[in-house]
Structure 1
Amino acid sequence: MKSRVHVLHGDITQVAVDVIVNAANSSLLGGGGVDGAIHRAAGPALLEACKKVRQQMGECPAGHAVITQAGDLPAKAVIHAVGPVWQGGEHREAELLEDAYMNSLQLALANGYNSIAFPAISTGAYGYPRAAAAEIAVKTVSKFLIRRALPDQVYFVCYDEENAHLYSRLLTQQGDEDTF
């Protein structure tokens, strides 16, 4: 059986999948790191879509996710997942990070998307320890895929080689990995 989970080393804004997940902040209006890169690559249409979501629901709290059009990205949509800010691990960070991944997967499923690309949510400016975040990401995605046909392909897109090796190692331990 062909693996459904893959690790890519590269730029998430260049990945041709149905839906790209943005490691968003609660304002949904762009920021630094992957959030800023996705907003820059998508162009002004993404910011306008995010502003509409903000007008309807206000800020997006940690653990939640919303979906918008993708603008100029090579994807059909962007799911904006808000991960937790690392505060030492005693403030429900693991639960909120798992929720961010799970809610993203639920949105992809609800919209019938076959492929989804995740960045390492909360590991940049939000300071979540990379190894712990990767374990939560891999565990949550694997648990979700066991009982669902969609998404058919999940990509962990790592901007740096160190993180790509971390995800590859975790997936190899599970016996479910393709690395590109």
Structure 2
Amino acid sequence: MNMPLPDCSFDAAYALEATCHAPDAVGVYRVLKPGQLCAMDEWCTTDKYDPGNARHQSIKAEIELGNGLPDIRTTRQCIQALKDAGFEVVLAKDLAEDSPLPWYLPLNPSQLSLTDFQFTRVGRFLGQTLVKTLEFLHLAPEGSLRIFNFLSTSVDALLKVGNMKNRSEPSQVLY
């Protein structure tokens, strides 16, 4: 929010899972010149998220914790923030809806290739052991294991969301 740049400095901008960390969803766009282009990929909840559903709330909280996010905004809030910042929203689309492969596939330990070893139980155990050892030896900063566990929580929560969709429970989907 405190970028040392004057307003209207850039001709184009993009944000990849970034503005969700900003306390002001409108103010982050101040450095873009009016009438220019912005593309973004953002953490948000869709209309399928039910804030009254305890399971949805729990999974959302795990995703927020594991990704260092404040309260995840809704898709409508993200779109409104762009409009409030003066943008004309040309396209807003959930790319997961039309994807030929499930968005969570790289996280699913039962569907992994050798390059995704870190998401398997053995890979996660070895990763956790390595981080714990490096932290003990002071080769990794104190708190590294805690961060590893936060990230693991997020992966698990994202898989819960993906598995809900797999069970054809569209009213139970959060992403």
TM-score computed with the length of structure 1 as normaliser: 0.26
Higher strand share: 1
TM-score, L = length of structure 2: 0.26
Q: Max radius of gyration: which structure?
A: 2
Q: Which has the higher helix share?
A: 2
